[in-house]
Amino acid sequence: MPLVNPISPDANPEVKELAAFFNETLGFCPNSVLTMQIRPEIARSFINLNKAVMQNKGRVTSALKRMIAWVSSNASGCHYCQAHAIRAAERYGAEAKQIEHIWEYQTHPAFSEAERAALNFSLAASVIPNAVDEKIKTDLYKYWDEGEIVEMLGVISLFGYLNRWNDSMGTTLESGAIESGNQLLSKTDWEIGKHQ
């Protein structure tokens, strides 16, 4: 049972209009946003930050951003965000082999060296204590420029917020996210857990 129950999507017209963004990314408005809108300014600010972070400015594709989010959420242990991130990765065109082997990104041939560098950065930046070191930095700069690194860290940081929000709230997973988790993460230890 969630710590705080989400409220109706119709509770705040401005938030509802902004939240339409998630219909594109996930196919539904997340319960996390419906809980945030209990304080509408939190929901508005979060949605606008999410839009800015996930906007494409270059070579960090929408699919890669969602895979970065999955690695970060996996490191944090947030099953709610893992299901959302993998669903969005699929919806944004991540290759089937990459989704199927996301937890093997360091060795699986479906991933390029540039993608490995980005996903290693996500993992290192998401653990406590933080593990971003000179090797991570050197590998990043082989393939990515500063703007792209800022975009990646934006995703990692956004999901750091979401991982803590949803794990602490025990946010109830939506049926579409459950379907994606069951279908796409069946080879991992993913389960609905406290997000029922």
Query: Could you report the per-residue pLDDT of 143-187, keeping only the tens digit for each?
Result: 999 999 999 999 999 999 999 999 999 999 999 999 999 999 998
Is residue 2 a part of any domain in this protein? no
Is the same domain home to 109 and 33?
A: no
Q: What mean pLDDT, rounded, does the chain reach?
A: 95
Is residue 30 a part of any domain in this protein? yes
Domain end marker among 37, 54, 71: 54
Q: Is the pLDDT of residue 16 over 90?
A: no
Is the same domain home to 79 and 100?
A: yes
Q: Is the pLDDT of residue 57 over 90?
A: no
In this predicted structure, what is the pLDDT of residue 190? 95
Average pLDDT over residues 96-108: 96
Is residue 6 a part of any domain in this protein? no
pTM of the model: 0.96
Confidence band (pLDDT; 50, 70, 90) for 21? confident
pLDDT tens track for 59-93: 999 999 999 999 999 999 999 999 999 999 999 99
The more confidently predicted of residues 56 and 110 is 110
Q: Give, in order, the Cα–Cα distances in Å from 89 to each of 35, 67, 180.
A: 24, 6, 10
Is the same domain home to 122 and 180?
A: yes
Is the same domain home to 124 and 29?
A: no
The more confidently predicted of residues 190 and 16 is 190
Count how many domains the chain has. 2
SS3 of the chain: helix, strand, coil, percent, to 5: 65, 0, 35
pLDDT tens track for 114-125: 999 999 999 999
Is residue 3 a part of any domain in this protein? no
Token readout for 140 is 């990043």
Is residue 25 a part of any domain in this protein? yes
In this predicted structure, what is the pLDDT of residue 24? 87
Give the angle 63-157-115 at the CA atoms, nearest 5°: 35
Percent of all residues in the chain with a pLDDT value above 70, rounded to a whole number: 100
- With contact defined as beta carbons under 8 Å apart, do 118 and 71 qualify? no
Domain that holds residue 126: 62-195
Is residue 7 a part of any domain in this protein? no
Is residue 1 a part of any domain in this protein? no
State the CATH number of the domain containing residue 179: 1.20.1290.10
First-to-last alpha carbon distance for the chain, in angstroms, is: 7
